[in-house]
Amino acid sequence: ARHEMIVFHVMDDHEWNFPFVENTMFEGLEDETRLLADPQALRSSYIKAVRDYEARVRAACLKHRADYVPVNTRDPLDVTLCGYLARRAGRLAGGRS
């Protein structure tokens, strides 16, 4: 039997675009760490780190023949899923799996 892997990489729009402009209290998700920071001083290095991480995840998916689907929480889930399924159907119809 053939198995397929699909990775839906879900990120909040704030994580992806880092829209913060004023001093912001950032709270850790793994622990109780809190950090008051100037987001404008962090923005470029943060966005680079997120884009690098996304590229590593995408490359790992490609290496293991898994579909990689970035999902931004600002986008309706039905639109994201329908878009993915349409692209997948087009690939399958074209003879690629």
For residue 15, count other CB atoms closer than 10 A to its CB.
12
* pLDDT class of 96 with cuts at 50, 70, 90: low
Q: How far apart are CA 17 and CA 43, in angstroms?
A: 9
Q: How far apart are CA 9 and CA 12, in angstroms?
A: 10
* pLDDT class of 95 with cuts at 50, 70, 90: low
Both tokens assigned to 75: 């986008």
The phi-psi region of residue 18 (left if phi > 0; otherwise alpha if psi is between -120 and 50; otherwise beta) is left
Per-residue pLDDT of 26-83, as tens digits, reads 998 888 899 999 999 999 999 999 999 999 999 999 999 999 999 999 999 999 999 9
Domain range annotation of the chain = 6-93
pTM for the whole structure: 0.78
Q: Are 37 and 23 in contact (CB under 8 A)?
A: yes
